[in-house]
């Protein structure tokens, strides 16, 4: 496969060149960006996920199936198939991102949400037990896995798991599952025998070009702008740790490399979020997007009764900052500018793979 070539930065392209990576969720928004990034560095990727659930979608736009070694359209709830694909591929690194990722949808279908997010994680970890080539596994969850007490300070990795809604709760459960598998089957004191380090990664509210998921702020806003109507905002004063999609993805890559090279001393939970000033209200994000988008952009308050969503959520990323030397690179304004550039370019029918690679280059050079 031809290498697409990126500048060396905090993420080390030479490490990833030739690595065998098993990536679940490669057909999704974050998975599409990560698949492109990995392929650009020469990684040999097998993707495992359901078919894209929106049209258009990043998977098709970027031509991910042509970039990676194998694209397996299947369900992480299917343990037997998952085991077979992983065993046949014999990866060195597993990155698990497949999930039911939407809070509001989890109220509509809690059974699917728990089955995917909890048992899907169980299945991925169970499948790794039979593959002795694996050196590092990163299980991706969310900042919403914490028991939210509406604190003004950021949650640290040792805080209690919780979750008011099925989605948040399912991700807290996935964290407990990850810890249990690590302690039971891949403990630190026998690392020299199993040589498999497992960590979890908890990211903030991820935004970026190429997201068409329903009930997400930026996709909903852009859809409304195109239809020349105001986007309806449910909770304008809610504060979230917003970050461009490349921020947490860089964290996952750095974490996986560190696990691979340094073993069990880094096998734990990690937060990846913006600097404290990056935690902004929905209203602030929307006004910034409107200022960058141009004509036909406006918002209005949705006064209808809504299911519960947390008002205040921040992450303390000191652990990743100090131990992994991972730091955010783009502030919120830059993230919004990159989104607007991507979305306008898509509507102008530009080469979106080339533009996305350009943004990855810019991020790595920041």
Q: Tell how far CA 329 is from the center of its chain.
A: 16
- DSSP assignment of 115-165: IIIIIHHHHHHHHHTT-TT--EEEEE--GGGB-----SSPBPTTSPB--SS
Check pLDDT > 50 for residue 2.
no
Mean pLDDT of the residues in the chain: 93
Best CA proximity match to 73, nearest among 45, 50, 96, 97: 50
Q: What is the mean pLDDT of residues 35-57?
A: 97
Q: What is the DSSP letter of 21?
A: E
Q: Residue 72: how many CB atoms within 10 A of its CB? A: 18
pLDDT digits (tens, 9 = 90+) for 84-137: 999 999 999 999 999 999 998 999 999 999 999 999 999 999 999 999 999 999
pLDDT of residue 174: 98
Q: What is the DSSP letter of 202?
A: E
User: 278-312: buried (b, 16+ CB within 10 Å) or exposed (e) per residue?
Assistant: bbbbbbebbebbbebbeeebebeeeeeeeeebbeb
306 or 24, greater pLDDT: 24
46: CB partners within 8 A, 6+ apart: 20, 21, 22, 23, 68, 69, 70, 71, 72, 85, 89, 91
237 or 175, greater pLDDT: 175
Q: What is the mean pLDDT of residues 157-177?
A: 95
Output the pTM of the full model. Answer: 0.94
Q: Among residues of the chain, what percentage have pLDDT more than 90?
A: 83
pLDDT of residue 311: 66
CATH number for domain 18-303+312-365, candidates 3.40.50.150, 3.40.50.880, 3.40.50.1820, 3.40.50.720: 3.40.50.720
108 or 151, greater pLDDT: 108
What is the pLDDT confidence band of residue 152, given thresholds at 50, 70 and 90?
confident
> Could you give the CA distance from residue 25 to residue 133 in angstroms, rounded to a whole number?
21
pLDDT of residue 303: 67
Check pLDDT > 90 for residue 6.
no
pLDDT of residue 76: 98
Domain boundaries of the chain, sorted by first residue: 18-303+312-365
> Could you give the CA distance from residue 41 to residue 48 in angstroms, rounded to a whole number?
20
Q: Tell how far CA 1 is from the center of its chain.
A: 25
Q: Among residues of the chain, what percentage have pLDDT more than 70?
A: 95
pLDDT of residue 10: 83
What end-to-end distance do the CA atoms of the chain give, in Å? 28
278 or 168, greater pLDDT: 168
pLDDT of residue 308: 54
Q: What is the mean pLDDT of residues 180-202?
A: 97
What is the pLDDT confidence band of residue 164, given thresholds at 50, 70 and 90?
confident
């Amino acid at each position: 496969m031809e290498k697409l070539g990126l500048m060396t930065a905090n993420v080390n392209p030479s490490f990833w060149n030739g690595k065998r990576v098993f990536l679940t969720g490669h057909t999704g928004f974050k998975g599409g960006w990560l698949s492109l990034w990995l392929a650009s560095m020469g990684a040999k990727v097998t993707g495992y996920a359901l078919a894209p659930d929106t049209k258009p979608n990043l998977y098709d736009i970027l031509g991910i199936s042509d970039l990676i070694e194998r694209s397996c359209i299947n369900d992480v709830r299917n343990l037997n198939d998952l085991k077979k694909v992983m065993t046949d591929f014999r990866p060195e690194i597993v990155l698990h991102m497949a999930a039911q990722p939407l809070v509001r949808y989890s109220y509509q279908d809690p059974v699917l949400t728990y089955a995917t997010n909890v048992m899907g994680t169980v299945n991925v970890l169970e499948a790794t037990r039979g593959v002795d080539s694996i050196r590092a596994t990163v299980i991706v969850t969310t900042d919403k896995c914490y028991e939210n007490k509406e604190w003004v300070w950021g949650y640290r990795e040792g805080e209690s798991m919780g979750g008011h809604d099925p989605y948040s709760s399912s991700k807290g459960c996935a964290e407990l599952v990850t810890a249990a598998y690590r302690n039971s089957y891949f403990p630190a004191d026998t690392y020299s025998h199993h040589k498999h380090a497992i960590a979890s990664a908890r990211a903030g509210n991820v935004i970026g070009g190429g997201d068409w998921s329903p009930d997400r702020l930026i996709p909903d806003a852009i859809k409304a702008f195109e239809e020349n109507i105001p986007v309806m905002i449910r909770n304008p004063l809610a504060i979230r740790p917003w970050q461009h999609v490349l921020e947490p993805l860089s964290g996952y890559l750095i974490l996986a490399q560190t696990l691979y090279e340094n073993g069990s001393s880094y096998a734990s939970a990690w937060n990846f979020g913006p600097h404290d000033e990056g935690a902004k209200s929905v209203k602030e994000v929307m006004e910034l997007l409107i200022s960058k988008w141009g004509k036909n952009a406006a918002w209005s308050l949705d006064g209808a009764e809504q299911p519960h969503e947390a008002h205040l959520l921040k992450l303390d990323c000191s652990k990743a900052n100090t131990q992994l030397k991972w730091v955010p690179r783009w502030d919120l304004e830059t993230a919004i500018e990159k989104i607007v550039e991507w979305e306008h370019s898509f509507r102008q029918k530009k080469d979106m793979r080339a533009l996305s690679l350009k943004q990855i280059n810019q991020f790595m050079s920041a």
